[in-house]
A and B are shown apart, each in its own frame.
Chain A
Amino acid sequence: MIPSILNPRSSFNTAWLDKLQGALQGEHFVKVTTGLSRHLLIPLIAIAVFLGVWAAAASKIDTSLGTFPGPAKVWEQTVQLNKEHRAEREKESAFYERQHARNAERMKTDPGYEPKIRSYTGKPTFFDQIVTSLVTVATGFLIASLIAIPVGIVCGMSATLYQALNPLIQIFKPVSPLAWLPLVTMVVSAVYVSDDPFFAKSFLTSAITVTLCCLWPTIINTTVGVSSVDKDLLNVSRVLRLGWFTKTMKIILPSATPMMFTGLRLSLGIGWMVLIAAEMLAQNPGLGKFVWDEFQNGSSDSLARIMVAVLAIGFIGFLLDRGMLMLQRRVTWDRNAVLR
């Protein structure tokens, strides 16, 4: 897929592109129809082998924070994190109760007071951090898609515009979003000034950083998808004298959907990876901050807790990708197309 970026024209209607895309998306998995055993058994065996190798290798690696955590220790910390989460929730409800009591008391002596309920001041738990990260990546991704899809469509339809934008896209695409991070941080703190901000600055910084790196794969793939619409279909539209809008909606968009979704899935995957790094670097709330904090703590449980986060990040990334795939299945016009 990547080479097509360099010159979309050379890749019009090329079968190798589809093939490559297929391979990337794990076509062979779906095609395997020889029964449940292969579907379930093989992955299970692979996971068991992985756990075995991990456990064996982990016990050999000695760090200054103790031996590298094996599966057992990581599981133990998963349970521990869950326990901490529940304890924190209990503390939270006690906090609100105390606050109500205090407000009621103050109302007695200070009738002019307008009671306010302040949100909980305790620490965010591991699961809170996951939610924060998900909301952030969703926001960034959504903004990026809203920009990238129209831009991609227009670029795909107009060769002139494509020529105009292509150099910019090519220059900004390879920039690591982490290089943007300091700039985004400074701009957000300078521009987003309000007394009672609806969004936290750190949230905006992370979301915008995600946006900046989610743009490019979607733009490029949408462009390719739109510009490689089957010539026959375009001829049909010409014969039927379809208007510009109808042509776009009925012919171009449906044909370009698979490529567009490839771009979106790539974007989301990159966005998720970048978000974790941005959170680590900028100390913005989320899973990345969780990892960084644990690294800083340097307790004997830290490595296991980081490992829990690593697995959680991977698992969530996987679920996000599957989610996009399901979405693609719902919106695609060709029900018989094999989606990977």
Chain B
Amino acid sequence: MKQRNNIIRRTGLALLAGGLMLGGSTVLNSAVAKEYPEKEELKFGFIKLTDMAPLAIAYEKGYFEDEGLYVTLEAQANWKVLLDRVIDGELDGAHMLAGQPLGATIGFGTQAHIITAFSMDLNGNAITVSNAVWEEMKPHVPKGADGKPVHPIKADYLKPVVDKYKKEGKPFKMGMVFPVSTHNYELRYWLAAGGIHPGYYAPAKGDTSGTIKADALLSVTPPPQMPATMEAGTIYGYCVGEPWNQQAVFKGIGVPVITDYEIWKDNPEKVFGVSKAWADKYPITHKKVVKALIRAARWLDENNNANRPEAVKILAKPQYVGADYEVIANSMTGTFEYEKGDKRAVPDFNVFFRYNATYPYYSDAIWYLTQMRRWGQIAERKPDSWYMDIAKKVYRPDIYAAAANELVAEGKMEAGEFPAFDKLDGFRAPQTHFIDGITYDGHQPNSYLKKFKIGLKGKEQI
């Protein structure tokens, strides 16, 4: 019925507009050669996580409309559905896991060429274990002078628990959100750094469960269902984005032990992904979307997170994340509650714009590719140049730079807020802030892989 109304409305308005056009045609060409998007009505997908915030803000603050875009935001059931819908064109673009465009492009899982020109945020995940596991783990965790656990809590302290489960013949099961998700790699990184083998994938042999040689069995659960799945006892812990770790604290069903900020400081998290075909067909639209998202990201971090409470209020609406204000606010406003009552300041738990968070660095893409190789999702050795080629195929800083330059030209932002694009080779300086102290240099993926005790390297194959 609504549709029919719209059609009536549309035809009526078209007639009216036609009249206007005849009347107005005498005043044409008043100079400005403005670009208009090729496609004005867009539908973007997202998963109910706080890091979808740039999309919600760009919508609510009218940044999309400023670019002449009429965007509908739609929550998706899980990451696979979201990716499939972007591939078959039902969605114009989506909030994606950084590994998704890469995984799809190299053909792990669903094969499709997906690109990204906008990185949505840094950090924002945590690893939570159930109350029972925490009780068993706690005696091994060193305590500070105040009697509280010393952070970061390493997986070394989880190892005795996993060993005990293994001895009893019980599989130690944990949840993550998608095989190519940041969460999968972070959880694996953390576990492996503590000597717990998270298992290999062997796609060539048809094994996509990723549990070969595993001490801890990781499986996929959609983010919003994570707390309920752990409560039901199907998994003993999980790695997921917010608010689903804080939800566990509020519900009293689990204890977040470590944030991804502590596993790898300022790690790239979500990206805004579109299909290559879509981007080629609608280049102006794509650029305009990136412009709106950049402005939204800046708004989120402006004045030292001053806008965050307002952002939390928007995210708490049922059509976006929909969890309680307090739960979302906990992490979004710069704190993080570990054990109930153990609230600590993590000012950079969610970074949307600072530290060039929105710029799609090739080195970020290559880090994900190295982890795919490390765990067997990329079955065989690839030369360093291959990593570079894939990163260039998927990450598109050129589109980002075009959007940013336009914002500067329009006076909406200042050049100083962006990195100097002409001096940039797309690589962050070698990064050192990993929980195991290993340095990552995106220029040398193969020698980086050699530094890990657990994980495939060189010519090794499963």
Contact = CB atoms under 8 A, between A and B. Distances in A.
A binds B: yes
Interface of A: 64-65, 98-99, 102-104, 106-111, 113-119, 121, 123, 128, 131-132, 135, 189, 198-199, 201, 283, 293-294, 296-300, 302, 305
Given A64-B227, A113-B36, A299-B323, A108 B27 contact: yes
Contacts of A98: 62, 65
Contact of B48 (A121, A123, A296): A296
Given A102-B65, A198-B3, A298-B224, A118 B40 contact: yes
B40 A116 contact: yes
Contacts of A299: 316, 318, 322-324, 327
A119 B316 contact: no
A128 B75 CA distance: 17
B10 A110 contact: no
Interface string B56-87: 00010010010010111001110001000000
Nearest to B253: A64
Contact of A131 (B2, B72, B90): B2
Contacts of A121: 41, 59, 70-72
17 contacts: A64-B252, A102-B65, A104-B20, A107-B21, A109-B32, A110-B34, A113-B36, A114-B18, A116-B14, A116-B40, A117-B13, A118-B40, A121-B59, A199-B3, A296-B225, A299-B318, A305-B318
Given A64-B251, A111-B24, A293 B72 contact: no
A266 B327 CA distance: 45
Nearest to A111: B28
A117 to B, nearest CB: 5
Interface in B24-39: 24-25, 27-32, 34, 36
A300 B225 CA distance: 16
Contacts of B252: 64
A114 B14 contact: yes
A334 B62 CA distance: 62
Contacts of B62: 98
Interface of B: 1-3, 6, 9-10, 13-14, 17-18, 20-21, 24-25, 27-32, 34, 36, 40-41, 48, 59, 62, 65, 68, 70-72, 75-77, 81, 88, 90, 224-225, 227-228, 231, 247, 251-253, 316, 318-319, 321-324, 327
Contacts of A99: 70
Given A111-B21, A296-B48, A116 B10 contact: yes
Contacts of B322: 293-294, 296-299, 302
Contacts of B18: 114
A297 B323 contact: yes
A103 B1 CA distance: 26
Nearest to B225: A296
B17 A111 contact: no
A297 B2 contact: no
Contacts of A297: 48, 224, 318, 321-323
Given A114-B17, A293-B318, A108 B24 contact: yes
A98 B17 CA distance: 15
Contacts of B247: 298
A98 B31 CA distance: 23
Contacts of B14: 114-117
A110 B36 CA distance: 9
A266 to B, nearest CB: 26
With most chain A CB atoms within 10 A of its CB, the pick from B25, B40, B70 is B70
A207 to B, nearest CB: 13
B3 A123 contact: no
Contacts of B24: 107-108, 111
Closest 10 CB pairs of A and B: A297-B322, A123-B319, A64-B251, A115-B17, A296-B224, A121-B72, A111-B28, A118-B70, A117-B13, A119-B6
Contacts of B6: 119
A283 B225 CA distance: 15
A98 B41 CA distance: 15
Nearest to A189: B88
A201 B91 CA distance: 13
A201 B9 CA distance: 22
Nearest to B75: A293
A212 B322 CA distance: 34
A23 to B, nearest CB: 37
Contacts of A114: 14, 17-18, 21
A109 B24 CA distance: 10
A118 B323 contact: no
Contacts of A119: 2, 6
A111 B316 CA distance: 42
Contacts of B48: 296-297
B227 to A, nearest CB: 7
B30 A109 contact: yes
Contacts of A199: 3
Contact of B13 (A109, A115, A283): A115
B331 to A, nearest CB: 15
A225 to B, nearest CB: 32
Contacts of B25: 111
